[in-house]
Amino acid sequence: MPKKYESSKRRLRAIEGTQGAFNVRLLFPDGSTRAAVVAKEHRLRLLIDAFDRIRAFPPPGPELSQEIIPEPVTSSDNLLRLMEPASSVEGDRLIQTVFGICKTISQHRHQKGETNE
């Protein structure tokens, strides 16, 4: 006998649980929160996209060896940009690593005088 669900939200959560999706909770300085759902198969892509984006902000070094690398457009841009202004994030170690990369990108943007769109 199939289970009866009280709402479509419960049904969606049940499907996500079987698919391996997980929640990421972002906490912002003003006290607000935002949640995102990341599919299990998208976790590695999120990390790789964060690495690709931070390459556009190399650490300071000799001016002659500084190659200007344009910031790439990735499939994870929306979540990565959403993480930048957050003060903390609740998630597993991989998400914590991605969050650290996003904070570093945000600091480099601030030093360059750029703003988060």
- Domain range summary for the chain, segments of one domain joined by +: 19-60+69-112
User: Model confidence over 16-29: pLDDT tens digits?
Assistant: 555 677 889 999 99
| CA distances, 117 to each of 59, 72, 109 (Å) | 22, 15, 11
Query: Comparing C-alpha atoms, which of 52, 54, 51, 19 is closest to residue 38?
Result: 19
Phi, psi of 35 (to 5 degrees): -115, 150
Taking the C-alpha atoms of residue 20 and residue 14, their distance in angstroms, rounded to an integer, is 10
Per-residue pLDDT in tens (0 to 9) along the chain, 117 residues: 455 546 777 766 666 555 677 889 999 999 999 999 888 888 889 999 999 999 888 776 666 556 677 888 999 999 999 999 999 999 889 999 999 999 999 998 888 776 554
